[in-house]
Structure 1
Amino acid sequence: MKIISRILFALILLTTGVINGQNVSISPSRLYYKTPIGEYKTQEINITNSSPNKQAFVVSFSDFEPAGIEGKSRFMKAGESENSCSQWLSATPSFFELDPGATQKVQVLLQVPASPEANKVKWAAMQIKLAKEKKGADGSDKNAIGLGITETFQFVVHVFQSPPTVVDKSAELISFREISTPTDSTRVLALKVKNNGESILDCASYLEFTHLQSGSDDRQKPFAFTLLPGASREVKFAIPSNLSKGKYSVLGVVDFGSRENVLAAEMEVELK
């Protein structure tokens, strides 16, 4: 595998921060803070009830582990993670009701303590839970969160805090390989990347196919993902079925937010 670095002149990445489900939309889906230690900052999210019924919402905070190689996170109790900022967060209001078509603005306050630990990158999960009246008054429902209220569906906004002093961005391309087998109906290539620095990396990865005989290029749509410090991620790409037969040079690229460099690896595949 050939590993190279080069300047990325232009990469347009379109993402959305709206979560849709159960006729409720939440925007944005992520909050990024760069608050100095001992200071505070407030950001805002919008919650819209697009359903025909009145809805009640409860807001709380928890921790989560960085997404594993497959990109899946695990949620934890507030304060359980050593990288937690959940106990620095508060929401106003934390409980509210919305009529059909109405939108509620929620203020999310981050108060960073004046402690050495606050000089590190931290993260947390903001949980917006749909609630309904609890049926029965015996208090036996283990999901009950208050007088006559029971949790139902949940939406998550990820919260990231990066102190202004943390500027190091470092990433490593571990591997670029084909992970499919000859019996698979679709051939799949995978890039594995690791965050070796102290910063949160907002990454974009894509493949570019060059036909070795005709010289024609085909660049695939970028895939966006976030890498927390110390985390690794394997990004999978299916080889497009509409490519012409023949041998291709395939360039795998990961833009991790550096102004100077991107990570790239090259391999050759043959489509028959």
Structure 2
Amino acid sequence: MQPPDLLFLGFFAFCAGLIDSVVGGGGLIQIPALFNALPNALPATIFGTNKIAAISGTLSAAWSYVRRVKLPWALIIPAMLAAFVMSFTGAAIVSLIPKSIMQPVVFVLLIVMAIYTFHKKEFGLLHTHLVVGRREKLLGVLSGGAIGLYDGVFGPGTGSFLIFLFIRLFSFDFLHASAASKLVNVATNAAALLYFVPTGHVLWQIALIMAVCNIMGSLTGTRLALKHGAGFVRVLFLVLLIGLIGKMGWGMLR
């Protein structure tokens, strides 16, 4: 690739890392940039290259959050394991579920999430100390597994769905929900890479350059989130949902 193309991809990888570290949705920035810069690449190669950069930034963000935000590991670890298994399962059965069915369902769910978050002004602004019992662990496994399956089959908005569920089911605030979502997202990305790497669907030179830029963006985003707190994350969450709704709506109309 020519240096201008690498600069183009590096810039969008930085932006993707910044947004994804706070509210998810980095793939919405990074994947279109890769399709634009690599018009002759196979879709699987685009997604594999994207996953290397994405998991690098997500790991960086997760590490930054874990050092500063206290999380209930008895809930998070079962959710991560379920997400890993179901994401790999989703990737294996992706051809069995038509995207023509998935897209309208996800579109409606995003609208419901946006309306709920907008009208519930206190939603995600207060963090409740969670006692993790059998019920909470089961909910964690079910929600992690469901989102992992969705990420393996379809993908757009995975981080946003995770944040919403951690707030709605476990009374996290936006900051803690964002931190928890990054850990579960690491598991879903790792499961996808078990398919993409052995099958040769990664352009390593491009992926590593984008990974560095994605990490830089993630570090910037986590600093902003930790500095400005749950209110800042809530605003970005709503902006991202509106962007997702607009993008998916436009895609269905075309």
TM-score category by the smaller chain? under 0.3
Considering Cα pairs closer than 8 Å and 6+ residues apart, tell me whether 1 or 2 has the greater RCO: 2
Say which structure is richer in helix.
2
Structure number with the higher strand fraction is: 1
TM-score by length of 1: 0.23
Q: Which has the larger radius of gyration?
A: 1
Q: With structure 2 as the length reference, what TM-score do the two structures score?
A: 0.24
